[in-house]
Amino acid sequence: MGLVWFDDPAPPRGEQLSRERIVAAAIALADEDVRGEVTMRAVAARVGSSTPMSLYRYVGSKDGLIDLMVDEVYGEITVPAGEWRTSLRGLGCSGWAAVQRHPWFARLAFSRPPLGPHALAVYDAALAALDGFDLSAAERMGAINTVLGHVFGSGLALLEERAMRERAGFASDADLTEAARPYLQRITQEGRYPHFIRWVNDPSRHDPAPQSFERILDWLLDGIAGTLGPVSGPG
């Protein structure tokens, strides 16, 4: 701590703090971090505050802040109206797009009840899409969660894959393979896991996965279709 004379008398206090500004800063920070992790101190610095405690007046706790971040991303998900399958497919695809923009969303969405306004809007629209079928409440939600489960699962895999690449400066799959080579060579020499070794040494394993998000989504929609029975309304 220096003498008084060294400080600006009035550190030019930036914009006013607000819940929106804090949430926006936290989301920007999470987007920049590979693991999507965020500390209250970092958010405080980002909004120009000198102490993490300033945030607590607006968001209550870190968990509260995260709830707000998550709901904000739910706001990027849209459920097109219309035939049930296009609606649920739209839910899946726009969810996937949102998750690609904010991979941390997948990690966090799993762990909290979707009760924010944007999350409720998503669920409401998705439930509406299934109106007109003779389904129980559990079946309706089950269908939606099947789709969202796929979205979040794929997002989580994406998040962790990116994080792993970063871990030791691995820029590409090739580098990662390089790092694991001695270990894999030892295994190869011991002759165990022959199928796995064959897979490792197959260069075509780097091809884009044919089991893409959308393809699996279609499989799930096929399965859901089988449970809907005949259309009994406008769905």
Instruction: CB nearer to a second copy: give 57 or 205.
Output: 205
Q: Which of 195, 230, 233, 234 binds a second copy (CB under 8 A)?
A: 195
Q: Minimum Å distance from CB 183 to DNA? A: 21
Distance CA 40, CA 213 (A): 34
Residues numbered 6-45 forming contacts with DNA, rule: CB under 7 A: 10-11, 13, 16-17, 38-42, 44
Residue 181's binding partner among DNA, a second copy, none (Cβ under 5 to 8 angstroms by kind) is none
Q: Which of 127, 177, 188, 235 binds a second copy (CB under 8 A)?
A: 127
Q: Minimum Å distance from CB 136 to a second copy? A: 5
Residues numbered 135-154 forming contacts with a second copy, rule: CB under 8 A: 136-143, 145-146, 149-150, 152-154
Q: Which of 180, 185, 214, 232 binds a second copy (CB under 8 A)?
A: 180
**Per CB under 8 A, does 4 bind a second copy?**
no
From residue 107, alpha-carbon distances to 37, 66, 151, 176 in Å are 10, 11, 11, 24
